[in-house]
């Protein structure tokens, strides 16, 4: 066995792929490749000749024009155009607050994009870049000037506090010139798309809704040449979070296909509402759900937690023949492509059916579509797929070849019946890399966030790094996880004990079935909801010898007011009852029961689970248990995520490896695999 | 006609501080601070007042200057200057000498003291242990290099294992600490004398052989408490002299003339509560520390008393100074609304006022002849320099062009008959007879603090906008003796006292009782919140840096731990502890709020974390959606925004406050919501 084990420094080599787009006529595939901390490059594969070239250094979000000869992309916050035959590059926009999500019109004459606008600002001013030097100054001052807060929705994780700007739609000609602003008001607008004739742009927005309900979005249309905004739907909520669904026009321009939240479950009490396909007449006169019950999939979106697959813009498209909507959906830990009949008797059938996870699908052409594929084997690539049969025709990219020399570990999955008999849990066990026969290894239970996402037949290099350091990694989908149906996906069960029992049972099952796991040396780790669960375990269970809690929830009363997804006390007549109820549900309230060393990792700029959770949790443990090792590491510039920058990310994983190494490993277990 | 004082005038204020008399008494140095033109920071200069010529000149040289200190022979002036990057000790010979930089500490120098023989300077500087090991702590960076270093530092992950890992104003502690060192005036690399524990405020013994300073040797919940240390000048033979006292450490230690003891400030404990900052002598021979003040004396008040709500900026000077003959200790004291200089006879333990009246001394020093040089403000004038009762400077003459609101004092007996509350009323700047004006009750922070007869631009801006401004010292305040503060008075009795004061003010006849607003910060914000929901007497409120929910402030603020009085008991339950904190929180009364509320909060406030403002804002928005509510968040500002915040933010903060009251008490008085009749006056606790 000559292959080396994974180490955190591998993140410097890891290539993240995104934005793949295919043009069948020109046999071109364009995508973005960002190698650990380096400027991302836009690459083009000539799929006929099998050659690949770098088109742009320092660009992202490449989009091929409909004729396949031009490329728009983002660089330094602006939209640029690259002409493939002439290799000429030109900047198209000078948006003061930057441009995002450019989409070609069907004729290739225009590009519709998003840009933040200061409310009430002049369109010319918004398209004028400040003098060099003052831009930085301005950006800096924007972070320092007082923020006036008058309503809900004043901050958003990853974006910071809402400055007096909102996201608006703009259109710019591919030939250049001034851009035209299509929307107004103090609201955000997103998920724009073109009508086939290029006359109309559709989008979703909460512009007619109460800001207290951030997920209530309606469908709108606006002439691409500017004009009155027309509200197409007012009943349903268009899906925007956690998995967005960009509305699609049918080729004849008569209908719009969109994902809408299940109207019966919008109270969020027991479930995240499922997202169903709707066929909506372009004039709003008809809104038909085309997602029958008894289909092979639960909804028309998916939320896999670990994929290793490249990112694409969209996970739904209209088929080449215009008869189907192709979409990606998660079932039983797999992500496959399905298709729904747009007309006639509603019907949904699988296009692919494998234990893998297809995360995105590009616009089908000539019966083929580019898809991004993740598997349990390794970091994924883009493939060309037969849109009717699901057969993979050709591999489009060949990245992350360095993995060939690494002793990647392969997970085995297992199922078990829940103790309460109400459901089954699906999980995976990743053995340590280069495992020796007969030896017993420490293990870590990794708990996913959400609780709505699901662990998939996918790949997460962080798991390999743990396996490389000599730990078995156990991960599963307890109650609350999606892809296993409504009964399993219960939100209450995720928070009120059932998922906790599922996880404990999973650990026991894994130990029972895999003799290489040392049942006395098990740690628990997780982020966000996973961190919430780790905190719960730390004060309610004696099963674990070390904990790592990431971006976690410690006190529901802190979430109530300081999360960007603020809670509600409406059901409580007296506010103090609400507070007591929150405290009952919060791990910090049981700090005296802390059972093992805990490492608390949190981003200073986290606005989803604000850093106050970490401050209070650390203080409570330290205050009450000065004798148990407790450590907190705060990461500047880090939102509700693991640190994005490579040096911080390696620091972060090193801290995890050291913590588990210190408190789980025995001498001779593993070498230092920190970066 | 004169114009009124407006928030923007903050940019014009010239703040005096750190008076320092030359040994011959012929030159007085002092510091003048003002907002920079950019309004992004304050800058300061040292001025020299020539007693003979009666004129002042600015000390030349680049950069910002502060902390002037005369050499014992009076021939040199040492001071801090940031001309080279960070603030460093510089020395200038008075007779035409050049400026000479004495220290080049990587993180600059916080404060310093001359040795008695004038050959050395003891200083305090921030250090990182790693920088001591590799000696880089002795090498200064340029301003640009330092900014780059700091920007990089701000991007580094912060690893925390200690309970008290953050402090308001200092942020999250990053492993650096204060250290003390000694630099020879003749030059050469300084030597650190105590750097392994946080060490601060060095002072020299009379014979120059020893240093006294405060150190923080404790960990855990006591990490912020300090002890008195002495050591040799080279740091050798360090000895901790205290152990059982609550050492204040707010004024430099002071050796007695014969070096037999070190005098320090201490907060003694009283069985019935109450806060007195006292002076203790700590014998050098290891004997038992003794209190200098006679605790049985009628007017036992200790020193200081923390006067707040006044226009002051700069380094706070020492709170006390030993007379040149060593027989008297002079000290600042706030007493019954005046802040003066008192002195204590170290032999007889008798005290007497030296400078006292309806004014506020902000800083003082003694001349060799034993006279007091001091800065002094009054309710209508910003502090200037005074000597022997005479004003020497007039840096804030521009104030004369404005209509400054007159103040009147009002004493109100408490309803329980046990005390008399002293308070003040600023009339609206342009008051006309027979007109009834809206008013604002200003409740200051503390509660162990005092409002004094001094200028405070916040009050003036409100008066300038047409409000009567009411402020007083309810029970719990310092300056009125121990009994006034005892038995939890600040929490149990102050609310009644404040209402009694408002009631008495209304009786004066020019205040419209239906248009009274209330504001306060910190403890004042707490009381404002409490009065708003419990009395119905107020029509609008501004809560500054509020503390409204104690179950989320736990661990998010920098103080208040379950183990504050020792390890938690074996049967400790965090749920019970947090529930108790929740139940004692004003947010329980959120449904009783009936008036428009403005919240002002700094994002870097580690005393009352920003999440406190969000608790109030979200709960009010959700449960009383019809009420106007606005929250203004100030990035990078701390709990001290109104004192040390950036000028641009101080102006905005004050504008927001004034505008809110203007809008809701004058322009669009809040009428309440459907049928919520206002209670008759008698029922409103007025």
Q: Say if B522 falls within a structural domain.
A: yes
Question: So what's the pLDDT on residue A137?
Answer: 66
**Residue A270 confidence class, pLDDT cut points 50, 70, 90:** confident
Least confident piece of the model among A268-277, A601-610, B423-432, B504-513: A268-277
Spatial distance between the Cα atoms of B128 and B106, rounded to a whole number of angstroms: 10
Question: So what's the pLDDT on residue B569?
Answer: 95
Q: Are the CB atoms for A361 and A317 separated by under 8 Å?
A: yes
User: Closest to B575 (Cβ–Cβ): which among A583, A635, A652?
Assistant: A583
Q: Are the CB atoms for A549 and A447 separated by under 8 Å?
A: no
Spatial distance between the Cα atoms of B357 and B367, rounded to a whole number of angstroms: 21
Shortest Cα–Cα distance, A641 to chain B (Å): 14
The total of structural domains in chain B comes to 1
Whole-number Cα distances in Å, B665 to B514, B590, B596: 9, 21, 10
Spatial distance between the Cα atoms of A74 and A59, rounded to a whole number of angstroms: 6
Check residues B683 and A467 and name the one with the higher pLDDT.
A467
Check residues B220 and A467 and name the one with the higher pLDDT.
A467
Widest pairwise Cα distance in chain A: 73
Q: Say if B272 falls within a structural domain.
A: no
Q: Tokens at residue A590, please?
A: 């049981």
Spatial distance between the Cα atoms of B119 and B121, rounded to a whole number of angstroms: 7
B555-574 residues touching A, CB cutoff 8 A: 555-556, 561-563, 567-568, 572-574
Instruction: Work out whether strand A598-603 and strand A630-635 pair parallel, antiparallel, or are unpaired.
Output: parallel
User: Closest to A651 (Cβ–Cβ): which among B157, B163, B220?
Assistant: B157
SS3 A576: helix
Q: Residue B262 above 90 pLDDT?
A: yes
B160-199 residues touching A, CB cutoff 8 A: 160-163, 165-166, 172
Q: Are the CB atoms for B125 and B109 separated by under 8 Å?
A: yes
Contact at CB, B568 and A592, closer than 8 angstroms = yes
User: Closest to B155 (Cβ–Cβ): which among A623, A624, A636?
Assistant: A636
Q: Say if B107 falls within a structural domain.
A: no
Spatial distance between the Cα atoms of A503 and A495, rounded to a whole number of angstroms: 12
SS3 A653: helix
Q: Residue B684 above 50 pLDDT?
A: no
Q: For residue range A389-446, list pLDDT tens digits in order.
A: 999 999 999 999 999 999 999 999 999 999 999 999 999 999 999 999 999 999 999 9
Q: Say if B204 falls within a structural domain.
A: no
Contact at CB, A566 and B588, closer than 8 angstroms = no
Q: Residue B106 above 80 pLDDT?
A: yes
Q: Are the CB atoms for B309 and B362 separated by under 8 Å?
A: no
Q: B172: which chain A residues are within 8 Å (Cβ-Cβ)?
A: 634
User: Closest to A558 (Cβ–Cβ): which among B591, B611, B633?
Assistant: B611
B102-161 residues touching A, CB cutoff 8 A: 154-161
Contact at CB, A634 and B157, closer than 8 angstroms = yes
Spatial distance between the Cα atoms of B58 and B686, rounded to a whole number of angstroms: 53
Q: Choosing among A155, A558, A574, A580, which should be mutated to test the B contact, i.e. which has the most B CBs within 10 A? A: A558
Q: Residue B38 above 70 pLDDT?
A: yes
Spatial distance between the Cα atoms of B82 and B33, rounded to a whole number of angstroms: 14
**Residue B682 confidence class, pLDDT cut points 50, 70, 90:** very low
What does pTM read for this prediction?
0.94
Closest residue in chain B to residue A645, using alpha carbons only: B155
A548-607 residues touching B, CB cutoff 8 A: 555, 557-558, 560-562, 566, 568-570, 574-576, 579-580, 583-584, 588-592
Q: Say if B108 falls within a structural domain.
A: no
Bridge-partner residues for B671, per DSSP?
none
Q: Residue B675 above 50 pLDDT?
A: no
Q: A634: which chain B residues are within 8 Å (Cβ-Cβ)?
A: 157-158, 160, 172
Average pLDDT over residues A136-146: 73
**Residue A672 confidence class, pLDDT cut points 50, 70, 90:** low
Closest residue in chain B to residue A619, using alpha carbons only: B555
B595-654 residues touching A, CB cutoff 8 A: 609, 611, 614-615, 617-619, 621-623, 629-636, 649, 652
Counting residues of chain B whose pLDDT is more than 70, the rounded percentage is: 98
Contact at CB, B622 and A568, closer than 8 angstroms = yes
Contact at CB, B555 and A616, closer than 8 angstroms = yes
Average pLDDT over residues A331-341: 97
- How many CA within 13 A on the CB side of residue B343? 21
Contact at CB, B161 and A560, closer than 8 angstroms = no
**Residue A139 confidence class, pLDDT cut points 50, 70, 90:** low
Spatial distance between the Cα atoms of A30 and A22, rounded to a whole number of angstroms: 7
Spatial distance between the Cα atoms of A570 and A575, rounded to a whole number of angstroms: 9
Closest residue in chain A to residue B172, using alpha carbons only: A634
Q: Give the DSSP letter string of B454-504.
A: S--HHHHHHHHTT-EEEEEE-TT-SSS-SGGGTTTHHHHTHHHHHHHHHHH
Number of neighbours of residue B130 by Cβ within 10 angstroms: 11
Question: So what's the pLDDT on residue A276?
Answer: 96
Spatial distance between the Cα atoms of A525 and A535, rounded to a whole number of angstroms: 9
User: Closest to B619 (Cβ–Cβ): which among A569, A590, A618?
Assistant: A569
Question: So what's the pLDDT on residue B318?
Answer: 96
Q: A148: which chain B residues are within 8 Å (Cβ-Cβ)?
A: 630-632
Contact at CB, B162 and A622, closer than 8 angstroms = yes
Q: Considering only CA atoms, which of A305, A357, A309, A405 is closest in space to residue A13?
A: A405
Q: Does A652 touch chain B (CB under 8 A)?
A: yes
Spatial distance between the Cα atoms of A606 and A588, rounded to a whole number of angstroms: 19
Question: So what's the pLDDT on residue B476?
Answer: 96
User: Closest to A615 (Cβ–Cβ): which among B556, B583, B652?
Assistant: B556
Tell the burial category of B72 from Cβ atoms under 10 Å away from its Cβ (0-12, 13-18, 19+): middle
Q: For residue range A496-553, list pLDDT tens digits in order.
A: 999 999 999 999 999 999 999 999 999 999 999 999 999 999 999 999 999 999 999 9
Q: Are the CB atoms for A511 and A472 separated by under 8 Å?
A: no
Q: Say if B609 falls within a structural domain.
A: yes
Question: What CATH number corresponds to the domain at position B477?
Answer: 3.40.50.1820
Q: A585: which chain B residues are within 8 Å (Cβ-Cβ)?
A: none
Question: So what's the pLDDT on residue B169?
Answer: 86
Q: Choosing among A592, A605, A610, A652, which should be mutated to test the B contact, i.e. which has the most B CBs within 10 A? A: A592
**Structural domain for B456, as ranges:** 405-549+585-684
- Ramachandran angles phi, psi of B124, nearest 5°: -120, 135
Spatial distance between the Cα atoms of B402 and B430, rounded to a whole number of angstroms: 11
Question: So what's the pLDDT on residue A670?
Answer: 52
Average pLDDT, chain A: 93
Q: Tokens at residue A218, please?
A: 């309606």
Number of neighbours of residue B78 by Cβ within 10 angstroms: 23
Contact at CB, A622 and B587, closer than 8 angstroms = no
User: Closest to B154 (Cβ–Cβ): which among A212, A568, A636?
Assistant: A636
Q: Say if B44 falls within a structural domain.
A: no
Domains of chain A in start order, with CATH, are 409-664 (3.40.50.1820)
Shortest Cα–Cα distance, B281 to chain A (Å): 34
Reading across the β-sheet that carries B290-291, which strands appear in turn?
A: B254-255, B261-266, B278-283, B290-291
A199-228 residues touching B, CB cutoff 8 A: 212
3-state helix, strand, coil in chain A (%, to 5): 20, 35, 45
Whole-number Cα distances in Å, B648 to A148, B4, B35, B651: 15, 20, 9, 5
Bridge-partner residues for A599, per DSSP?
A548, A631
Least confident piece of the model among A95-104, A262-271, A360-369, B408-417: A262-271
Q: Residue B588 above 50 pLDDT?
A: yes
Q: Are the CB atoms for A522 and A545 separated by under 8 Å?
A: yes
Average pLDDT, chain B: 94
Q: Considering only CA atoms, which of A305, A281, A297 is closest in space to residue A460?
A: A305
**Residue B681 confidence class, pLDDT cut points 50, 70, 90:** very low
**Chain mean position to CA B642:** 10
Question: So what's the pLDDT on residue A140?
Answer: 66
Counting residues of chain B whose pLDDT is more than 90, the rounded percentage is: 91
Shortest Cα–Cα distance, B672 to chain A (Å): 19
**Residue B584: is the preceding peptide bond cis (ω within 30°)?**
no
Question: So what's the pLDDT on residue B680?
Answer: 38
3-state helix, strand, coil in chain B (%, to 5): 20, 35, 45
Contact at CB, A624 and B652, closer than 8 angstroms = no
SS3 A169: strand
Shortest Cα–Cα distance, A596 to chain B (Å): 15
For chain B, the first-to-last Cα distance in angstroms comes to 37
Q: Say if B459 falls within a structural domain.
A: yes
Q: Does B223 touch chain A (CB under 8 A)?
A: no
Spatial distance between the Cα atoms of A273 and A266, rounded to a whole number of angstroms: 6
Average pLDDT over residues B369-381: 96
Check residues A119 and B336 and name the one with the higher pLDDT.
B336
Tell the burial category of A434 from Cβ atoms under 10 Å away from its Cβ (0-12, 13-18, 19+): middle
Q: Does A619 touch chain B (CB under 8 A)?
A: yes
Contact at CB, B551 and A623, closer than 8 angstroms = no
């Amino acid at each position: 066995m000559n292959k080396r084990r994974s180490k955190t420094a591998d993140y410097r080599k890891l290539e993240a792929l995104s934005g793949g787009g295919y043009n069948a006529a020109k046999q071109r595939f364009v995508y973005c490749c960002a190698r650990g901390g380096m400027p991302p490059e836009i690459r083009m594969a000539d799929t006929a000749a099998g050659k690949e070239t770098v088109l742009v250094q320092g660009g992202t979000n490449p989009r091929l024009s409909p004729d396949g000869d031009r490329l728009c992309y983002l660089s330094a916050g602006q939209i640029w155009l690259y002409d493939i035959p002439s290799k000429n590059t030109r900047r198209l926009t000078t948006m003061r607050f930057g441009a995002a999500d450019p989409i070609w019109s069907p004729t290739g004459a225009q590009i519709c994009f998003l840009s933040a606008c200061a409310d009430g600002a002049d369109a010319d001013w918004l398209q004028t870049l400040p003098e060099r030097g003052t831009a930085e100054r301005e950006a800096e001052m924007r972070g320092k000037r007082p923020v006036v807060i008058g309503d809900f929705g004043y901050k958003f994780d990853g974006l910071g506090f809402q400055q007096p700007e909102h996201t608006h739609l703009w259109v710019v000609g591919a030939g250049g010139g001034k851009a035209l602003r299509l929307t107004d008001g103090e609201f955000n607008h997103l998920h724009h798309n073109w009508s086939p004739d290029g006359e109309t742009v559709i989008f979703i927005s909460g512009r007619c809704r109460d800001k207290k309900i951030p997920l209530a979005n309606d469908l709108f249309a606006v002439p691409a040449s500017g004009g009155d905004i027309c509200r197409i739907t007012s009943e349903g909520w268009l899906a925007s979070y956690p998995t967005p669904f960009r509305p699609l026009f049918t080729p004849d321009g008569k209908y719009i296909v969109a994902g809408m939240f299940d109207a019966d479950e919008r109270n969020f009490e027991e479930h995240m509402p499922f997202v169903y396909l709707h066929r909506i007449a372009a004039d709003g006169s008809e809104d038909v759900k085309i997602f029958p019950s008894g289909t092979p999939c639960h909804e028309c979106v998916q939320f896999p937690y670990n994929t290793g697959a490249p990112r694409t813009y969209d996970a739904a498209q209209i088929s080449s023949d215009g008869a189907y909507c192709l979409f990606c959906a998660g079932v039983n830990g797999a992500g496959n492509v399905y298709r729904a009949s747009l007309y006639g008797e509603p019907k949904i059938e699988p296009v692919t059916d494998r234990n893998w996870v297809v995360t995105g699908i590009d616009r089908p052409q000539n019966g083929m579509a580019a898809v991004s594929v993740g598997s349990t084997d390794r970091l994924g690539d883009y493939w060309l797929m037969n849109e009717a049969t699901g057969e993979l025709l050709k591999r489009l990219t060949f990245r992350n070849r360095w993995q060939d020399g690494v002793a990647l570990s392969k997970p085995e999955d297992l199922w078990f019946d829940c103790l309460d008999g109400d459901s089954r849990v699906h999980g995976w066990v990743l053995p340590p890399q280069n495992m020796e026969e007969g030896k017993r290894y420490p293990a870590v239970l990794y708990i996913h966030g959400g609780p709505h996402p699901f662990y998939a037949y996918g790949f997460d290099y962080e798991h390999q790094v743990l396996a490389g350091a000599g730990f078995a990694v156990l991960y599963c989908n307890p109650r609350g996880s999606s892809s296993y149906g409504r009964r399993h996906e219960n939100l209450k069960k995720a928070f009120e004990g059932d998922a906790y029992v599922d996880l404990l049972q999973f650990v026991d099952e894994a130990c029972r079935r895999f003799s290489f796991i040392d049942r006395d040396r098990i740690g628990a780790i997780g982020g966000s909801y996973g961190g919430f669960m780790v905190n719960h375990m730390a004060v309610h269970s004696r099963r674990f010898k070390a904990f790592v809690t990431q971006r976690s929830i410690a006190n529901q009363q802190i979430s109530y007011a300081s999360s960007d997804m603020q809670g509600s006390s409406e059901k409580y007549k007296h506010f103090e009852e609400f507070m007591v109820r929150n405290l009952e549900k919060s791990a910090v309230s049981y700090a005296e029961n802390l059972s093992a060393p805990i490492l608390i990792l949190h981003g200073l700029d986290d606005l989803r689970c604000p850093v106050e959770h970490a401050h209070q949790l650390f203080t409570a443990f330290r205050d009450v248990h000065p004798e148990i090792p407790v450590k907190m590491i705060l990461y500047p510039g880090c939102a509700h995520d693991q640190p994005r920058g490579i040096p911080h990310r390696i620091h972060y994983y090193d801290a995890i490896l050291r913590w588990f190494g210190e408190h789980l490993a025995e001498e001779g277990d593993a070498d230092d695999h920190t970066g | 006609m004169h114009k009124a004082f407006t928030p923007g005038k903050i940019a014009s204020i010239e703040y005096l501080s750190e008076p320092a008399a030359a040994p011959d008494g012929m030159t007085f140095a002092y510091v003048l601070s003002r907002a920079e033109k950019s309004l992004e920071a304050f800058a300061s200069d040292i001025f020299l007042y020539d007693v003979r010529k009666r004129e002042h000149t600015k000390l030349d040289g680049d950069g910002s200057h502060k902390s002037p200190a005369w050499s014992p022979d009076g021939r040199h002036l040492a001071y801090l200057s940031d001309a080279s990057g960070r603030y460093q000790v510089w020395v200038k010979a008075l007779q035409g000498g050049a400026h000479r930089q004495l220290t080049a500490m990587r993180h600059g120098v916080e404060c310093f003291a001359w040795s008695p023989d004038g050959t050395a300077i003891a200083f305090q500087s921030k250090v990182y242990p790693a920088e001591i090991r590799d000696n880089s702590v002795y090498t200064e960076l340029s301003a640009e290099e330092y900014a780059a270093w700091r920007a990089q530092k701000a991007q580094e992950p912060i690893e925390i294992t200690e309970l008290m890992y953050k402090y308001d104003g200092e942020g999250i502690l990053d492993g650096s600490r204060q250290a003390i060192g000694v630099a020879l005036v003749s030059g050469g690399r300084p030597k650190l004398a105590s750097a392994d524990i946080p060490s601060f405020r060095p002072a020299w013994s009379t014979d120059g052989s020893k240093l006294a300073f405060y150190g923080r040797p404790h960990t855990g919940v006591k990490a912020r408490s300090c002890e008195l240390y002495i050591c040799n000048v080279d740091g050798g033979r360090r000895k901790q002299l205290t152990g059982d006292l609550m050492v204040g450490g707010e004024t430099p230690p002071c050796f007695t003339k014969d070096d037999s003891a070190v005098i320090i400030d201490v907060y003694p404990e009283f069985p019935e509560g109450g806060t007195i900052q006292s002076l203790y002598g700590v014998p050098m021979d290891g004997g038992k520390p003794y209190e200098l003040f006679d605790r049985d004396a009628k007017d036992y008040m200790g020193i200081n008393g923390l006067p707040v709500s006044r226009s002051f900026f700069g380094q706070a000077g020492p709170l006390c100074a030993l007379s040149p003959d060593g027989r008297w200790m002079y000290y600042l004291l706030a007493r019954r609304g005046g802040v003066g200089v008192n002195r204590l006879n170290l032999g007889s333990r008798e005290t007497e006022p030296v400078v006292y009246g309806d004014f506020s001394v902000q800083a003082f020093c003694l001349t060799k002849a034993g006279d007091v040089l001091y800065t002094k403000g009054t309710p209508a004038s910003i502090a200037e320099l005074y000597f022997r009762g005479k004003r020497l400077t007039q840096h804030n003459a521009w104030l004369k062009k404005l209509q400054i609101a007159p103040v009147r004092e009002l004493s109100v007996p408490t309803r329980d008959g046990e005390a008399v509350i002293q308070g003040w009323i600023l009339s609206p700047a342009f008051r006309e007879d027979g007109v009834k004006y809206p008013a604002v009750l200003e409740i200051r922070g503390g509660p162990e603090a005092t409002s004094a007869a001094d200028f405070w631009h916040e009050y003036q801006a409100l008066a300038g906008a047409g409000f009567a401004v009411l402020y007083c010292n309810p029970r719990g305040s310092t300056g009125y003796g121990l009994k006034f503060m005892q038995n939890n008075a600040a929490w149990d009795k102050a609310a009644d006292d404040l209402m009694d004061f408002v009631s008495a003010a209304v009786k004066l006849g020019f205040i419209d009782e239906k248009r009274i607003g209330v504001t306060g910060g910190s403890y004042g914000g707490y009381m404002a919140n409490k009065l708003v929901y419990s009395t119905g007497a107020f029509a609008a409120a501004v809560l500054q840096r509020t503390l409204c929910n104690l179950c989320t402030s736990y661990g998010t603020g920098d103080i208040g731990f379950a183990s504050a009085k020792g390890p938690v008991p074996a049967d400790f339950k965090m749920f019970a502890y947090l529930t108790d904190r929740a139940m004692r929180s004003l947010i329980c009364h959120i449904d009783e709020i009936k008036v428009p509320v403005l919240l002002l909060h700094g994002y870097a406030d580690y005393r009352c974390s920003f999440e406190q403002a969000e608790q109030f804002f979200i709960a009010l928005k959700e449960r009383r959606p019809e009420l106007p509510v606005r929250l203004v968040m100030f990035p990078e500002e701390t709990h001290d925004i109104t004192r040390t915040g950036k000028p641009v933010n101080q102006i905005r903060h004050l504008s927001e406050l004034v505008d809110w009251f203007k809008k809701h008490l004058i322009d669009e008085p809040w009428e309440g919501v459907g049928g919520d009749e206002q209670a008759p006056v008698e029922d409103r606790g007025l």
